[in-house]
Each structure stands twice: as C-alpha cells, then as structure tokens.
Amino acid sequence: KEPEDLEVIAQDIPLDIRYEDDAIMIVNKPAGMVVHPGFGNKTGTLINALAYILDDKEAHKGKRPWLVHRIDKNTSGLLVIAKTDEAMAHLSKQFKDHTIERTYLALAWGSFEPKQGTVESFIGRDEYDRKRFVVTEPSEDRGKHAVTHYKILEDFVYTSLVQCNLETGRTHQIRVHLKHLGHPIFSDEKYGGNRILKGVIFSKYKQFVDNCFSIMPRQGLHAKSLGFTHPTTKEWVQFDSELPHDMLTVLEKWRTAAATYGF
C-alpha cells in the first residue's frame, strides 16, 4: 500500500484528455503508465501528470483529491478524474453503489461456453504471491465480493474477443475471473496468458503467437467505456475510447488467421 503522505512531483507529461469541465476530467490512459506513485514509481505516473495540469497544491502533500478509481499499469483505457471535493464525493458514492457502467474489451485464450454469462465470486490475495489475486471461498474470510458480466463478441477458436462489464471493481478482477474460467487474458504474464494455451503444435503457429506477444507484450485488456451521472448536472454521461494500436493490431491478426486457416 502506498503511503498517504508520499510527496507528489508535478511533471509535464502529455495526457490523452477526452473530456474536461469544471468538475471532471476523462483521461485515456496508455498501457505502461502507473496510475499513482508509490515507493517503486515516484515519477511518470498519471497523478504526477495531473499535479502539473491541475496545479493543485494539495497534490504535493500526497493527497488524492482526484483519483476516483484505478486501472492496472499495463491495462489501457478510460479513467474519470474528480477535480473538486464535491465531484469526488458524488463519483465515489456511484462507485460504492455500483451504478457506474464500466465496459472493458479483452482478448482471451480459448473458445468460451457459454458465450455469455456472469462470474460471481470472492477475490483475495494469493497466499503464495502477494502481487497476485485469486478466487477465494467466502469461508476463508480473505476476499472481497466480485461480479463480472461477460459476452463473447468474436470467437477465433483459439482466442476470443470478450466484452466485460464490471458490477464491482476489485483489483485485477477481470484478469482473475477470466483465468478462473480457464481463459486467461492473452499475453497476461501475471496470470499465465503469456504462453500458448490453445492451438496446434506447428512452428508457424508458434511464430504467429510469439509475434503477437511481441506486438503486445502486456495483457490484452482495454477500459473501453464509462457511463455515470455527472456530479454537477446530474445527467447521465457516456464516454468511449477506441482500442489502442497494439491490441487492435493483434486482434486483426487473429481475425485474418481465423479466416485464412479456418480455426
């Protein structure tokens, strides 16, 4: 856990800002950017960039007036930032009440059956690796309730494009739930998706998959859309983002391969 009083260094880091008004900001975070500074990442984070852009003196005390939620370092996509205490309180309540709509796209290993469903479980830290999370039993008293709704958008037999809607927002939730289903996210090193899990034992297929890994050396997961009640206008707002280049390139390769080779 990061210390609350860690000094935040304001840095002029370019951000892909998709929307901004007096209360909120919508940022499309690239894969590879850490959201909040910690002992191992004091600079180069989203918060460092926000400290510079918003010029909020409280930021230099390590406070978090803007960060309503997070996404993993190697996950790309949309984040909502609160620019005022009122917006923070309003958005935090929506997250707590599970009324915010969050849609992710994931490239996962294998063909899903059924093609649509819900994963409901408890998620807690892996006792053998504190940086990983696992599905736990309620009786273990070490997990948090987690619900993910999924729908298969495209099936390439060996991989699938999956739409995931979060009802809760636990750390690594989609990554853990898809692994629990037997379909780790493609190229997800932490959860075993960075090796060939489905397919044929041919050198050309191995070269194809390794090429995909090299194009996208991070989990194939993107926070595509956010929907919520605006904290000031009280109107429903919706924001969407396109797939980043690395994930789109790999997806197109799987589409072409599936159409060409019939798998």
**3-state SS class at 99:** coil
- To the query of whether residue 22 is one of the catalytic residues in this protein, the response is no
User: With the CA atoms of 172, 221, 179 and 205 taken in that order, what torsion angle do they form, in degrees rounded to the nearest 10?
Assistant: -150
- Rounded-to-integer distance, Cα 212 and Cα 195, Å: 11
Distance of CA 232 to the CA centre of its chain: 26
Q: Which of 12, 56, 72, 240 is catalytic?
A: 72
**3-state SS class at 261:** helix
- Are the C-beta atoms of residues 110 and 196 closer than 8 Å to each other? no
- Rounded-to-integer distance, Cα 21 and Cα 4, Å: 27
- Rounded-to-integer distance, Cα 82 and Cα 77, Å: 17
- Are the C-beta atoms of residues 42 and 100 closer than 8 Å to each other? no
- Rounded-to-integer distance, Cα 196 and Cα 201, Å: 10
Active site residues: 72
